[in-house]
Structure formats: C-alpha cells, structure tokens
Structure 1
C-alpha cells in the first residue's frame, strides 16, 4: 500500500513518461518517504527528550527555592554583621584623619592651649592673693587695741589744751606755739601742768590694768603674734611698738651670751661707744673666756629655760602655745 504522497508521485510520473523507470522512481519515493519518517521520528524523540529535560529542570528549580533563599539570607546576615563590626574601625580611621591638622589649625590649637594655661595661672594667682588677703584680715582681727591714753607729761597736757582751744589751726603751728609757751611758764604754772600729767598717768595705768584683766593670756599672745607677723609682711611700720606687755605672760629665757652682755653693760665700761663697736668688743671678750667662765653663764641660761617652761605650763598648759584662729578670738572677746 502506498501512502497518499506515493500515489501522487506515481500519478506525476505516469503522465507522459515511460513505465520502465517507474519502479526506480517508486523506490526513490519509498526511500525518501522512509527517510522523512525516520527524520520525523527522530525529531519527535528529540522533542520528547528536550521537553522532559525542561520539565525536570523546571521541577528542580521550583522545589529547592526555599533552602536556596535561606542560605543567601544567612550569608547576607553574616555579611551585615561583619560590616557592623567593621564600622568602628572606619570611625577610628576618620578620627585619625581629623587629627591631621594644617599649619594654621595647629598654630590656632597651640595658641588656645597657651591662653588656657595663662588663664589657669591667673586663676591660681588670684586664689593666692585672695588667700593672702584672708590671712591678713585674720591677723588684723587678732590685733588688740589698748585703751586711749591721756596726756601724761606737762608739755603734752599744754599741747592738748592749745589744740582744743584753737580748732582748725594746723598742728605744726600749734606744736611750735605750745613749746614756746612751755618754755615761758613760771614754776607754779609748770607745777600745775605736772600735777595734771601725773593724774592722767595714774588714770592711764588703772584703765590699762582693767583692760588687761578683761582679756585672757591666750588673747594677748595671739595679738602679739599677729603684730609680729604683720611687721614681717611690712604692713606695720618698723619701730612702731604695739606689743602688749602682760605680766601674766612669761618672759622668754635669755641665752648664755646675753647674760654675759648684760653683766658687762652694767659695769659701765662701754660708755661713749657705739653699739656696733661695743658688740665687736663683747664678741671678742666672750670668745676669749675659758670653759669654766663660760660655764657660769650657761648655768644661768639653763635655769632661765627651766623657769620659762614651768611658767608657760602654768599659764597656757603647754610650753609651746599655738595661736588660735580669728573666729575663736572673736568669740572669746565677744
């Protein structure tokens, strides 16, 4: 049986051609037909293989989508964490880059550092000054002022009278006038002024003793210590004697050399000599003394130290009293 294609080919051949060649043509047609059938079957087989591979590939691609998506997510998370860890390093690098200043910036930085140092030093100096002022105020608060004294000589009594009788006149002129009047006073008038002066002196002694009795030895010790310190600071004029003489405060012990000097001065051998010349002679004489002669003055010095320690203990409760603070002094005086 021939197919439709074979029959059509035979029909074409039959029209106007010889029949001898028909079997050959039929054979060729059969060969071509079989070749077409083989090619068609091969093509269909390859198509099936391609379709099956595509299906297999699509199935393999669709099924493991979830684990494939999980793994990259984990990797991305790890990479993000690594980047987060590396961020401080980047900040440090940026900070290091900021430290690299230009010359102008460096000069400005150094100038600001110098200004800050100067300001700190000024602040420190101000604190020292303020502390010094506070210390001075504390010392001045300890200084005690004795009661005002009345004129204790005939001339001062006359001078005070002239000042009270001539207000507004310069003191220099009044002093000259008082000295001139005092020289021309008769004996009776001078005696009157002497009596007034002696009465004033007695009143001064009484008021001073009453003032001392109202104070404690510690207060007087503090006052004398503060005056000495203010003199050292130059805040009290040299030669101005403000020390309070209180018989209750023990007198300091004298060393051996001072005992020797006092003894030599009482002899009267240094009359007419200046203090400098007398000091040179006394020093030479003391060096020339023998050990037994020096021992006498050293014994006097030891006795003086023992006396001073005993009196200080009785008065202050210790051989080395300490100056109290200004607050305690003010509280005691109030």
Structure 2
C-alpha cells in the first residue's frame, strides 16, 4: 500500500504500537491490508468508542518536581484530540490499550468523577490546594460535549469555593463561562490555554481534532474579557515545525488578553518516540530526519529524556535558542502583566457545602 493510502486522516497516530506490559502482540499483514484496499474496506474501524469506568479515586498528588502543579484530576482517560506529541499517550498502556490509535479511539469516561471529587473536598483531612483539571488528558475534549463531567466538577468546586485550574486547547470551555465568572469573582480559577501554532495546516497535522487557532484565540479573549486569568502554553515547541513561531504566537496571545505564557520543548518518551517517528515520516517526509535530529539535539542525543529539570526545557543550542526567544517574548509582550495567585482562604468556610455561619 502507498504511504498516502496508509495515512489515517483525522487522527494523529497512524499506528497502534505494542503495549509494553503485554507479552503478545498482533499485527496486520500486507496481504490482508492489500485485500482490504482492493475491496474498498477499512482494515479496522476508525470510530471513537466511549467506555465507562468507575475509579476509586480522582484527585492525584503530582510527584514530578518540574510539572508545576501539586494535585490534578482527569475526567477522561485517552483523548480524541489526537495530538501526536502528547505525553499522556503512555498512560493508556496502564489501562491495557496502545499509546497509539487506541489512545485516540478508546476514551474512558470516569462517570463517578464528580462524586469522588465531592467526597475528597468534604474530607476533614483535605486542605485547600489548587487542583488542576487535565493534568493528563484534556477535560474539554469532544467527549465532554456528550457527558458533561467537567461541568459537574466545576459546579462542585464552586459549591465549596475551592480553587481549580484548567488546562485545555478546546473552545468548548466557553460553554462554562457562567461558572468560571462566578469562580473568578473570588479568584478561584485560572485557565492554561494551549496554542501550538498559528498555522492551520500545522495544527491539523499535529492536533487533528482540536479547535481551530482562530477559535482558540477568540476563546482566550472571551475568558480574559470576563476576568478569568489566562496563561497561554506554547507547548510543545518542536524544532523545525513550530520553533519559528514563538514571537508571533506570544504576540497573538498577549493581544487576546493572556497575562502570561509558558512553554516546553517536545520530548518523546516511551512509546511516543515510535509513534511520532512513524507519523512524521508519513505527514512530513521532506523534513522528518531534520526534525528528529534537532529534537535529539535538545535531549542529549535521544528522543527519550526523563531527566528532571532538563526534560521539559531541553539542552544544547536549539534549546537555548528557544529559551532566549521565550525570554524576549515575555519582555516584549508581557512586561506589565501580572498573573494572580489562587485564593486558598475560602474553602474551610464552605467545607460543609455552604458558608458556615455558626461555629
């Protein structure tokens, strides 16, 4: 089969890689693929499947020292956005699936997440800490439109006046503007909005089922205009793909009202290295080797970098160039902007579910 016929439009990953926890694997032979092509049949379904799960806990303590959050929670496991570089792909293997296409097509719906969250916030031992929704997978991915778990959780955060931060790249967050405005009145929320490129062509390849760039910038402006602090994540920066866009991205974010920017240098840990390598040879064959080599130069000669402190920022000339551009962008476009700290003081008063008027 030709490279063109093998490319699965609307998906990031183009393969299902072996789950590292499984001894056995299956693969599709060329004769079967050629038969499917001749018959006009797809070798497997490209539909998204929603699978309900009921975890025992929902709030996770984040041990990684360079992530920038203390606690996180995820409404969904797997993500239909299909971002080819996503670090969360590896976590799908713990559920018995592949980090490749399975990550995008088998979405686990944590139906009891709101109940688990409320139980956590009602616990007498819990002290207020900012909980980040989407520490792993996007809480506003397409599944949220159908299941509404993220909105239910936001209602609980508001009920208990507990601080919550969001990481997303989906304009669906605008649906819940009413809740964010109420939370923002008491400085209880912030949004980290991911914008990786200003090029729609690049976005469609890197992040095939995400909101358009225009919708993302419009959403940043909508949130900012309504008093919700927004940090734009220029993440990840991928040498040879979007590394030339740092300054225009930062300007667009600032013009839309963002108060700050953050960034990471792409890292391709675990199965992601194989998935990304396969993808770029199909999606960008003319620059595949150049991009892969430049990524390696940022991580000590390897795609897989797990070193605390270095893995998120990289090292070497390319990483330094990226760091310098981000520094310049902050100085040029965000010099007079301040990102507020979250309010941790109200939660104890509302821990019982309503303001405690009597003690």
- Which interval holds the TM-score relative to the shorter structure? under 0.3
Q: TM-score, normalised by structure 2?
A: 0.20
Bigger Rg, which one: 1
Q: TM-score, normalised by structure 1?
A: 0.21
- In terms of fraction of residues, the more strand-rich structure is 2
- In terms of fraction of residues, the more helix-rich structure is 1
Of structures 1 and 2, the one with the larger relative CO (CA 8 A, separation 6+) is 2
